[in-house]
């Protein structure tokens, strides 16, 4: 639980900036600015440590409800649970539970799902933001991410999660505009306007259709993908693809739109969708440094807009490149993904304080503008996914 003193410290630090930061935080910032650590702990170690960190984020969430904390902050500790990211963390935990035969992970995923069902709103949608944030409204994007978890829950646990899945997926279909865009229920925590990256919501509907076959789920998903492609430029760039700054989108939201396209191709085997995904993936290849660094925000010509990495986005894009390697056989994608994964791994400590061990910073250096001074639950999830996929394709840990 945050004490009044810790809340006061957080407000003071926000108001007065770096000089107010604790000595340990300043030391971490200095280490990051000295350069990327040389040691790569390896994909297998990062997967294990990342899943352990996610388990701690569930246990230490300040709301103590079975959900996964949004983040651990070096300034004010563990946050409350975050329904959106808990939703798509569920498949990550279940996938590893099956491959490792760790029953405790399966039990954790069940607790996450039970909690998510408890916060589902009357309309069938799910709220935006963390527990305790206002206003409490059904939000398209967050609901789509939780549908991913509920679909995995139906596949793993059966009927107990089928009705919540139907309610959420039906709400998404019901609230979609005729052109395939979702405009009616945006998050109150981001800039208003349509979002190309809601192809990640479309993916949720496709996963729902795998366990609850319904033509309307597939039709709604593909209508959104078709609409999103109207925002793609010839060089693969997407307009309207950021939380706050569409002219310089985060790699995080570019990673979302890429994953949505890849998953739509995997569901349909539509060559045009695959070509669109490759256009975006190829643009991102041009932004990748030799050491695996991807700028956290990119301009429309794929040039760097900032000098820090959004580690969440780097991991997401690495995963997308690996998926495209499996689809196309293009070795450029595999090489880029391995470099990007290696970059993220070098920022991760697999020893030391349990609050940060296995966790993934929002940005590198840690004072970058995305998730500043925080270790993010979704960054850990995407890093685990990308490294599990690398290992399955014969990454360096298998050499």
Give residue-wise pLDDT tens across range 293-303: 999 999 999 99
Round to whole Å and give the CA distance between 302 and 286.
7
Can you tell me the mean pLDDT for 280-302? 98
**Domain map (residue ranges) of the chain:** 41-77+264-399, 82-230
Give residue-wise pLDDT tens across range 322-337: 999 999 999 999 999 9
Among left, alpha and beta (phi > 0; psi -120 to 50; other), residue 302 is left
CATH topology classification for 41-77+264-399:
Glycosyltransferase (1.50.10)
Residue 144 is predicted with a pLDDT of: 98
Intrachain domains 41-77+264-399 and 82-230 with the same fold: yes
Domain 82-230 class?
Answer: mainly alpha
Residue 396 is predicted with a pLDDT of: 61
Better pLDDT: 1 or 85: 85
Give residue-wise pLDDT tens across range 238-258: 999 999 999 999 999 999 999
Residue 210 is predicted with a pLDDT of: 98
Which residues are within 8 A (CB) of 47 and not within 5 positions of it... i.e. 6 or more apart? 96, 384, 387, 388, 391
Give residue-wise pLDDT tens across range 344-363: 999 999 999 999 999 999 99
pLDDT of 18 > 80? The answer is no
pLDDT tier at 23 (50, 70, 90 boundaries)?
confident
Residue 9 is predicted with a pLDDT of: 40
């Amino acid at each position: 639980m945050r004490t009044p003193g810790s809340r006061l410290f957080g407000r003071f630090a926000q108001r007065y900036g770096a000089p107010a930061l604790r000595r340990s935080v300043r030391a971490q910032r200095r280490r990051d600015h000295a350069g990327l650590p040389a040691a790569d702990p390896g994909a297998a170690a990062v997967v294990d440590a990342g899943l352990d960190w996610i388990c701690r984020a569930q246990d230490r969430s300040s709301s103590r409800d079975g959900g996964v904390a949004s983040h651990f902050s070096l300034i004010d500790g563990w946050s409350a649970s975050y329904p959106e990211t808990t939703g798509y963390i569920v498949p990550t935990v279940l996938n590893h539970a099956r491959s490792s035969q760790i029953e405790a992970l399966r039990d954790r995923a069940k607790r996450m799902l039970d909690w998510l069902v408890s916060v589902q709103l009357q309309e069938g949608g799910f709220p935006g933001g963390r527990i305790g944030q206002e206003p409490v409204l059904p939000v398209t994007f967050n609901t789509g991410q939780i549908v991913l978890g509920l679909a995995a829950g139906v596949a793993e646990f059966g009927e107990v999660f089928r009705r919540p899945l139907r309610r959420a997926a039906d709400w998404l279909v019901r609230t979609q505009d005729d052109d395939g865009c979702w405009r009616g229920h945006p998050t109150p925590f981001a800039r208003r306007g349509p979002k190309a990256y809601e192809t990640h919501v479309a993916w949720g509907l496709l996963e729902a259709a795998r366990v609850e076959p319904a033509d309307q789920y597939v039709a709604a998903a593909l209508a959104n993908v078709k609409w999103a492609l109207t925002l793609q430029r010839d060089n693969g760039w997407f307009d309207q693809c950021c939380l706050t700054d569409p002219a310089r989108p985060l790699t995080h939201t570019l990673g979302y739109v890429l994953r949505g396209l890849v998953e739509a191709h995997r569901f349909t085997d539509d060559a045009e969708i695959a070509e669109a995904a490759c256009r975006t993936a190829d643009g991102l290849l041009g932004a990748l440094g030799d050491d695996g660094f991807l700028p956290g925000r990119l301009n429309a010509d794929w040039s760097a807009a900032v000098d820090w990495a959004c580690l969440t986005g780097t991991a997401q894009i690495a995963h997308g490149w690996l998926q495209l390697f499996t689809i196309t056989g293009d070795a450029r994608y595999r090489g880029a993904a391995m470099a990007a994964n290696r970059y993220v791994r070098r920022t991760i400590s697999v020893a030391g304080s349990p609050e940060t061990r296995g966790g993934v910073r929002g940005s590198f250096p840690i004072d970058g503008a995305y998730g500043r001074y925080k270790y993010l639950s979704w960054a850990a999830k995407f890093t685990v996914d990308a490294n599990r996929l690398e290992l399955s394709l014969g990454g360096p840990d298998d050499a």
